Structure 1
């Protein structure tokens, strides 16, 4: 395997939210409504009805990026879901974790890991945008959950 095929780029954002894990989970997994609370998503559409489950898919449209289909690969309600999206040369893995804190709040941890022969160049070109979008998602989720 060539070096560039093993290349990995990782991006992270986190925030603490004055809400329960169940409240945050309800907002975070209602993917069709993401554009209401984060400007990092222009349009989101689940492709199947029902609760989020392994195999569920969603189409996300984000400013300055191509539309992407994400497929859920792990669910541990109400604490975590992970999904993947594939584009030529890059496989993206997004992880959404809700960690209960001793004071009754939660910490939300968002990560995006990109692997593949084009992960380095894509990370270099879009790294700042990716970091900004993860921050927007974390902050928007906090505002939405604390307002509810």
Structure 2
């Protein structure tokens, strides 16, 4: 099973990357994640472990199998008996437009157990990914507008 969601965000990739890689704060800006924990604390690192709880889905433990700040890609993976799953986040910029970011989220499941679970939870997973992408867009654009307003106010006062 494969589900792909893409969203365009009117802010720079550096800002979106900072929000996306701060996984423990996801529950603050999206209803798609109830709880997010970096096992062992600290920051997101390659090989690190992330525990996520989402509404209407069992808790999942993911390993960071890909983390490329320069290429702005993160992949979370999970493997078990008869199942493999991954969620990949990729940030790109439209040609010549460094002020916008396209975020693509791809969720894949495979294996005899993974295919069965995917079939049962496909609608819920897709809804969560849509919500996550939409909430990420709203959060990043709202923060961008707040920074711009603060910058304009400082310029006016000067």
- TM-score normalised by L of structure 2: 0.83
Partner in structure 2 of residue 139 of structure 1: 134
Cα distance in 1 for partners of 2:104, 2:15 equals: 15
Instruction: Measure how far apart 1:29 and its partner are.
Output: 0.7
Look up the match of 1:31: 23
CA contact (8 A) 2:38 2:44 kept: no
Count of residue pairs the alignment pairs up: 140
Q: 2:103 aligns with which of 104, 108, 121?
A: 108
1:116-135: CA deviations, max 9, x gaps? 11232212211111110110
Larger radius of gyration: 2
Query: Whose helix fraction is larger, Structure 1's or Structure 2's?
Result: 2
Question: Would you tell me which structure has more strand in proportion to its own residues?
Answer: 1
Alpha-carbon RMSD across the aligned residues, in angstroms, is: 1.4
Q: 5+ residue gaps in structure 2? A: 144-158
Compare relative contact order (CA 8 Å, sep 6+) and give the higher one, 1 or 2.
1
Runs of 4+ in structure 1 off by over 4 angstroms are: none
* 1:82 matched residue in structure 2: 75
